[in-house]
Every structure is written in structure tokens, then in C-alpha cells.
Amino acid sequence: MRIVVDVMGGDHGCEVVIGGVKQALEEDASLTELFLVGKEDEVGAAIKNLGLRDPRVKVVHASEVLTMEDKPVVGLRRKKDCSIARAVEIVKEGRADAIISPGNTGGVVAASTIKLRPLPGVERPAIATVIPAQENEFVLLDAGANVECRPMHLMQYAIMGSVYSREILGYPKPRVGILSVGTEDVKGNDLTLEAFKLCKQVEINFIGNVEGHDLFANHVDVVVCDGFVGNVVLKTCEGMAMSMFRWLKQEFMKTPVRQAGAWLAREAFLTIKRRVDSDTYGGAPLLGLNGVVTIAHGSAREAAIKNAIRHTGRAFNNRINQIITAEVARANARLSCRAAEAPAPS
């Protein structure tokens, strides 16, 4: 497998990203080529510091970086030679199979969408984030690629998330729900009410609306929403988990007895912490494009990058793009047949 890594744009500099690449190369013999895209001098220095000597590594120079301050589309127009654009081009030219970037999320979405184009029949790509709960892992999508959605987009997210949950996470018949303000069919806003009607007609295990209460209660495996809601929910969960652990820690420190208790029970906390660790997946796939794209966390360290490379490889090897294309085509056909069969409004 041939992977491109945009090594610029992560919060900790390119050496941390390349450190993750080094670990992945050491562990994964199926990697046949690995392109590192970024400023040549910085990348060269990092490679030297890390003692990375591997014939599979190719450095590709890009003189610019899309920063968090850049507006995605405007930034891409101004910074023609930025690392994310160059990285995507390598996949577009067929020289690599997949791309990983820890940079500006909007920039990765825009560059990938413009250059790789959506899969046939897919209207918009979606960021699919895997969120661990106690008894299952659910996929939330869209987590922020597309903040203004139409019902058709949500229906397609339901299919893409279903494919991802089945093919990558191993849920044989993933339960798909639309995130809404109540579980009853009539609850929701205009977008979710219309999307509900579409989802009912396609071949997924659609369980209807789900609420915030359901997410962590093993009621649903694929949670569908627009990119605004998904991004807000994802960050709220991350922020709340972090703050709960911080708060507990401070409460434990208040007396020696509590400290001792927390020390005795520490394995319980560590079990949960390990399970909710964002490094496990290292990033989120951008589903629905001609090419496998993974958006790594800006804060990704070595282990996260290594895991992102591994999961990106799985997505490629499991041919999820071909499966998504086939299932979306079938759903689109079914919906247009139904629309044609429906009596014309009199």
C-alpha cells in the first residue's frame, strides 16, 4: 500500500508526525511507499534527527502550509504550493492510494473534494468519527465536513456510515439512527424529518431517530447528523470527558484518604481512559471521495499517527469505496424509482 502523509500542520510540528510514520514503517510490511509532503528542509532535519532510513520513504517538497487561520477555499487558492494540496495531488495522479493529514480540517476537506471529487452518486463527503462507549463504538457522521446539509446528504451519510461500521468496525448489521430532539417519528427539524423519510426507504438497519441520551447507551452504531451538529456534539463529548477526569482528579487530591482510594481503584480509571483515548484511531476518515482520506487530530502524537496509518490501510484494503459506491447507487436508484412511482400532485 502507498500512503501520503501531509506532515505539516500538526500542532507539534513535523518531527512528531514523522516519528509516527517511522513507527508505522517498522511495524507494517504492507506499506510499500510512503510520501512525506512538507517543507524539504524541515522534513530533512526531522528525518535526520529521528534516524529514519527507509527506502520506502519519499520526500515531496511543498513550500507553503495551510494554517488554522486560513479560510479553506480562499487559502487553497492563495497557497497553491501548500502541503495538503500537493499531498492530495499525489493520490489524484494515481501514485498513492491514501492520504493522511493532521492539518486544517476545512482545508483537507476542500482540497480532497476539489481534487479527488466525490465517488459516483455521492453528493458530499462526510467526516466519520468513531466514538467509544462502554459497550460499543459508534460512528458519528458528519462530524464537520459540511455544515449546511440537505436530506439527501443525510441519507447518504447513513449508508456510508453503515458500510464503515460493518466493514471496518465489524458490526454485522449496524443500527443507524438520525440524531434528533426526540425518538418519535414526528420530532425533529425540517432537515431530519425529510431525511427520516428517505432513510426509511433504503437498505440499511434504520432504527429511526435517536437522542443525545441514546448515544452512550448502546442503542445505536451509526449516528447521522449535519456537519454542524456533529462537530458540536463531538467536541462537547471530548470536552466533557476531559473535564470530568480533571475534576475527579482535583477532588481526589483534596484529602490523603481520597488519594489512597483513587490509587487503589486506579485500574478502573485507566481501563476507561485507554478505551476513550483518541489515539486509538488517530483520526477520522473522510468518506465518499475517490481516494482514501484520513483527517488526523491536529494534536496527534506519534502513536496516533501510527494508528491513523494502520486504520487508513484497513479502509483501503477492505475496498470500502467500492462498497460505498455500489450501495449508494442502489439507494439512489431505489429513491428515484419511488419518486417516479409516486402519483403527481394534483
Residues that bind its own copies (CB under 8 A): 69, 71, 133-134, 144, 147-148, 179-181, 184, 186, 188-190, 192, 211-217, 225, 227-229, 231-244, 246-248, 250-252, 254-255, 257-269, 271-272
Nearest-approach distance from CB 28 to its own copies, in angstroms = 32
* Cell 447528523 -> residue: 225
Looking at the Cβ atoms of 264 and 339, the one nearer to its own copies is 264
How would DSSP label each residue in 66-80? Answer: --TTS-HHHHHHH-T
Q: How many C-beta neighbours within 10 Å does residue 80 have?
A: 11
Looking at the Cβ atoms of 181 and 333, the one nearer to its own copies is 181
* Nearest C-alpha neighbor of 67 from the set 51, 50, 52, 79: 79
Looking at the Cβ atoms of 41 and 69, the one nearer to its own copies is 69
Nearest-approach distance from CB 245 to its own copies, in angstroms = 9
Nearest-approach distance from CB 58 to its own copies, in angstroms = 33
d(CA 229, CA 227): 6
274's CB contacts (< 8 A; 6+ apart) are none
Looking at the Cβ atoms of 243 and 317, the one nearer to its own copies is 243
Scored b (16 or more CB within 10 A) or e, 207-235 reads bbbbbeebbbeebbbbbbbbbebbbebbe
Looking at the Cβ atoms of 240 and 333, the one nearer to its own copies is 240
Nearest-approach distance from CB 220 to its own copies, in angstroms = 11
Nearest-approach distance from CB 241 to its own copies, in angstroms = 7
d(CA 96, CA 292): 10
Nearest-approach distance from CB 65 to its own copies, in angstroms = 17
Nearest-approach distance from CB 78 to its own copies, in angstroms = 15
Looking at the Cβ atoms of 119 and 220, the one nearer to its own copies is 220
Looking at the Cβ atoms of 69 and 93, the one nearer to its own copies is 69
d(CA 177, CA 200): 11
d(CA 14, CA 21): 10
Reported as half-sphere exposure (CB side, CA atoms, 13 A), residue 208 has a value of 9
* Nearest C-alpha neighbor of 286 from the set 171, 173, 170, 161: 161
Q: Which three-class secondary structure state does DSSP give residue 176? A: strand
